Chain A
Amino acid sequence: MSATEVLQSGAGCTSQQLFDCRDAYIRVLEEMAADDPRVCAVANDSVSSAKLKGFRAKFPDRFVNVGIAEQNMVGVGAGLANGGMIPYVCAAACFLTARAMEQVKVDLAYSKSNVKLCGMSPGMAYGQLGSTHHSIEDLAWTRVLPDLAVVVPADPLETAAAMRYSRLHEGPMYLRISRMPVPRVHGDGYEFKLGKAVLLRQGSDVTLMATGVLVSRALQAAFALAARGISARVLNVSTIKPLDEEAILDAARATRGIVTAEEAFARGGLGGAVAELLVQKHPVPMRILGVPDSFPPTGSAEFLMEHLGLSAAGIENAALDLLKDKR
């Protein structure tokens, strides 16, 4: 089966259909606002891209548009939390993190403010708009901050579950909400647990650890590897922080090596987090798939993902390479 056939077969995924995770995010945000008068939203002009038009219409007095001012919006979020609200601060991930990073560090993480950041359209979803609009540094920047939970849902079910969880979680959270079309990888009734990786497929030769939009691709890669007689375990590491050390160490002990895959710079993100853990507790061969150490060229999101090997075939090849290495 060719890589494309595997991709088309939807192998291992629980739906053929593809979804925009923003739909699940906004559905749950509106549900929570209806149930809980503390839930409010903060926007930065980009009301449509954050899907907040309906929220604004339904809850006009719990909606704030600060204009094009991301540093301000994160600070305003901290103040709303101080005043007893549960603010969801929603903006394109690139500006929300890059522009407001000190506010994220000081006003949220250091202050342990109960603010939920929703980073919209992260990774390379804005494709040809270029590096200014890509958010591929955010995992490195956010996961280094103490007390800030960092969550990258893989599908609409997990997006919805993580959103519900976030309201009950006391403390700052960064949720990375993708617009790249993804199939379902979880079943109905999926429950999100912060800091718990999800075992999607058992396997004994190699472990594929992916996050966000790379999870379905990792499942497809595992399916292709199975056709070659290789048994690949697949872990959805949706919580980048706090990291599920137990599941990662388990995988390191039970399989011959680990391939990580993320729609972010290959340095400092999921791969970096896993490597930091394993090199100290149980070193095993690794391959870290992500964006290499240069700003990507011009191109659509789909083009860039293929071009940079962030595909089922790319993951499959990395696994083969890793297994070849280790005799």
Chain B
Amino acid sequence: MTKSLNGVGMDQDSPGKLKQEANWIRLSAMTMTHNAQLGHTGGDLSSADILAVLYFGGVLRVDPSQPNWPQRDRFVLSKGHCSGAFYSALAARGFFPPAQLKTHMEPLSMLNGHPDRNKLPGVEANTGPLGHGLPIAVGAALAARMRKESWRVFVLTGDGELQEGSNWEAAMTAQHYGLDNLTVIVDRNRIQQGDFTENTIRMEPLAARWSAFGFAVDEVDGHDSAGLLDRFSHLPIQPGKPSCIIANTVKGKGFSLAENQPAWHHGVPDDEQLAAAAVELGVEVGW
């Protein structure tokens, strides 16, 4: 399952196919984490369906054969610690050979623990410190507008990540300039590094906060491929406003042992757990 549909305006994979692609991203990310003995399993797994729909549902207009095509849609992974899922999605989409995933975090590898846009095609921003993605995405959306171009900007943030004030500064900029070419997707898995978000710093009422900051907001099931596809295919939510999609997810989704377990934020699967995950996910890594 590493085929890539190169080119713009790629076919839109069916929801069933998207689910399979997401599960491949999951197992690939877990394998990378297993190999490196380092990584962020929980957030890789919660974001896999979102990434699959963006990259294989015909949502992102990107061209792996010309990663710097000026008219491409920009996708910024603000929760840069989930590089395992992100790199897997990029490889599956054809930005680089999946075999390169074997080098994740190895000495002198291009696949750093957090994405580096000068090392890998398809990466728009060097993230890792939380709260950097949205300001960069806002700047990119402003650039598209200044240049009178039609490409769009998507940014995926964590939910704990939204405790960083920079997000809300950027949100104010986005609403002031009415950036309806900008979509924020929040991976609302309700867990951050140390605990559940609501036990750490309450994030609710999250949708109301985004609305109050001038975004058009919608909530979706972040594991329902069809629902995500439908939502991402009808943007902006409201003309003249930036969009915020709160994707309700389960941290660790797809590997039962890890589901909704704060300890699996950066849990590393051992041999047995990886084998169990492969069975549960019903896919083969193949690289």
Contacts and interface: CB of A to CB of B under 8 A. Distances in A.
Interface of A: 45-48, 65-69, 71-72, 94-95, 98-99, 126, 128-133, 297-300, 303, 307
Interface in B161-179: 161, 163-165
B163 A68 contact: yes
A46 B195 CA distance: 9
Contacts, number: 85
A65 B201 contact: yes
Q: A interface, by DSSP: helix, strand, loop or mixed?
A: loop
B131 A68 contact: yes
B44 interface: no
A48 B265 CA distance: 12
A136 B280 CA distance: 42
Count chain B CB atoms within 10 A of each CB in A68, A126, A133 and give the residue with the most. A68
A66 B194 contact: no
For the complex of A and B, 5 pairs with smallest distance between CB atoms? A132-B128, A67-B201, A67-B163, A129-B113, A128-B105
B160 A68 contact: yes
Given A69-B163, A128-B38, A47 B129 contact: no
A68 B105 CA distance: 25
Contacts of A94: 129
B15 to A, nearest CB: 33
A94 B128 CA distance: 11
Given A69-B165, A133-B113, A95 B129 contact: yes
B193 A46 contact: yes
B113 A72 contact: no
B193 A132 contact: no
B112 interface: yes
Given A98-B129, A99-B129, A132 B163 contact: no
Contact of A132 (B80, B192, B195): B80
A303 B106 CA distance: 10
A303 B108 CA distance: 10
B108 A299 contact: yes
Given A128-B105, A298-B105, A298-B111, A47 B128 contact: no
A94 B108 CA distance: 21
Interface in B112-141: 112-114, 116, 126-131
A307 B106 CA distance: 13
Contacts of B192: 45, 67-68
A69 B162 CA distance: 9
A72 B165 contact: yes
A128 B161 contact: no
A133 B38 contact: no
B16 interface: no
A297 B108 contact: yes
A47 B105 contact: no
A98 B128 CA distance: 13
A119 to B, nearest CB: 14
Contacts of B36: 128
A176 to B, nearest CB: 18
